[in-house]
Amino acid sequence: MIIPKSKTKAIVTGDVNQSELKKDDYGYIDGYVTACDTRPYAVFVREDGYIDLVMTHQLKALTS
């Protein structure tokens, strides 16, 4: 997977409810949104291209 230079590499720290994302899925954060209940979510792109919203506390940013 080629991660754009301006994006943050990340790993999912736990299974995500109502999503195909599982613990230890690797990818990058493409952006951020706030839900109508004011909860912060990251737009996460998994290494196979699957895109979903993940609560920010369920991600860990990685360094190069």
Query: Which of the four pLDDT bands, split at 50, 70 and 90, describes residue 63?
Result: confident
Longest dimension (CA), the chain: 34
- Looking at residue 39, its pLDDT comes to 92
Mean pLDDT of the 55-60 span: 96
Report which secondary-structure segment, H or E, holds 44: strand 40-46
- Residue-level pLDDT at 56: 94
3-state secondary structure of 58: helix
Judged against a pLDDT cut of 90, whether residue 44 lies above it is answered with yes
Architecture of domain 8-61: Roll (2.30)
Domain ranges of the chain: 8-61
Q: Does pTM top 0.85 for this prediction?
A: yes
